[in-house]
Amino acid sequence: MSILDGVKISKGRSDLILKLPEKLSKRVHKLIRDEVRSGAAAGGAFLLGAVVAIIELGCTGQVYLPTIAWMISRGEGATPWLWLLLYNSAFIIPLFIVFAVSYKGVSAVRLAAVFRKRGAALKFFTAGLLALLAVVLIIT
């Protein structure tokens, strides 16, 4: 599905398969807008992040929950924990990069333009990582 999304992005389309449903996406945006307008963004950031994470669990949980189940079923010392650490790092590092770039003063409009320009490459890279993970899981 990541490959199909990459092809769609490269053709300028935005009807992606792997994205939050429109209803949930609008809810996340509304939550963030309301928090920023209320002036409670700094104090409510943790709570806001928790609510957004719960809403997005449908996307992230598709990989995360099976990974945890696999770890529990294997019961092999530190190796599964290292895989989980690698997965979490791959999930969190892009968020830190976006935060750092935003903190340095890059506007949301410019950041969105970069994602539109590089979106297909990111989708193909993601597909490659998921294929590699599948091979590793099959071999082990």
Domains of the chain, by residue range, sit at: 2-20+59-139, 21-55
CB 96 within 8 Å of CB 62: no
What does the alpha-carbon distance between residue 19 and residue 38 come to, in Å, rounded to a whole number? 28
Token representation of residue 10: 């490269």
Q: What angle do CA 44, 102, 17 make, to 5 degrees?
A: 85
To the question of pTM greater than 0.85 for the whole model, the response is no
Would you give per-residue pLDDT tens digits along the chain (140 residues)? 889 989 998 888 878 887 878 888 888 778 777 766 666 656 667 777 777 778 777 776 777 777 777 777 777 777 777 877 887 787 788 888 888 887 888 887 887 788 778 889 988 998 898 898 889 878 87
Cβ neighbors of 84 (< 8 A, separation 6 or more) are: 67, 68, 71
By the 10 Å C-beta count (0-12 exposed, 13-18 middle, 19+ buried), 108 is classed as exposed
Which residues, 6+ apart, have CB-to-CB distance to 58 below 8 Å?
20, 24
